[in-house]
Structure 1
Amino acid sequence: MSVTDPSLSAAHAEVKAEITRTDTKTALLLAFVGAVLAGAFTVARDVPLTVPATVAGGFGLALLVGAVGMLLWSVRPNLSGRHGFPLWATLTAEEIGAAVARDLAADIAGLSRLAVGKFTCLRRAVDLTLTGGALLILAALLTAGGAA
């Protein structure tokens, strides 16, 4: 096995750390959105809503469900075999060492594309969550104000 360039090893570690951070943020946002959805359904069941509040709340809930979909898509396992575990599961110990030494730059590029995809989904989910939350607040204000 050849000696790996330290800058390539550092870049590889950085990309893997970014994927981990993105997955952690995704998990936290997924838990938050789940709690908001549960709370909204509980409140909507117990409070008489006006038509405008129902419409605004319905759109808000739809956006939150869309955010959940984006979050789940961003953490969906990639089993195509291009990087990491699926590829390594098909190799012997010697082949893994040779593949890592030979293809570290390609792995960094592939993992970077994966990280950007995850980050993009997370960003869209945050946008949907903010918009959905704003609509739920509007629905609450319409209900509290008694708008008809």
Structure 2
Amino acid sequence: MIQVARTMLIPCPMQDTLAYLTDFAHAQQWDPATVSCVPLAPGASGPGSRWRNVSRFRGRTSEVLYRLDVEEVDRLVFTGENSTVLVTDDLRFTPVSDESTRLTYTATFRFKGIARLAAPFLSKDVNRLADDVASALPRVMAR
């Protein structure tokens, strides 16, 4: 298992930040590894909503199906899964002011099968990816 956490200051009100991140399709804008992310059903996002996410990691492209499991006034939890990994993205929001939000983003990767053997060698790359997200997300939200 690999777990990474980053805390960032988002230059938007908490309600706007939460609304934007509730739609995981936006990951294509703020996650540099995401190639595409499309909802599996039309309509507003909420608990049970699902997305097909295609990401590039270490030169390989993989598809992960994500689901929004928890939507609270200050927290979102997404779970993504394919045959080699179970990913949990836990996003916690704290208002800093009327115009900014502190976001603590924790991602947990649980590898399956033979992929578990690679986990110790992937930590550096997963941390780099977390750094890229922590850099990109505040910039995207500032637009």
Tell me if TM exceeds 0.5. Answer: no
* Higher share of residues assigned strand: 2
Pick the structure with more helix per residue.
1
Larger Rg over CA atoms: 1
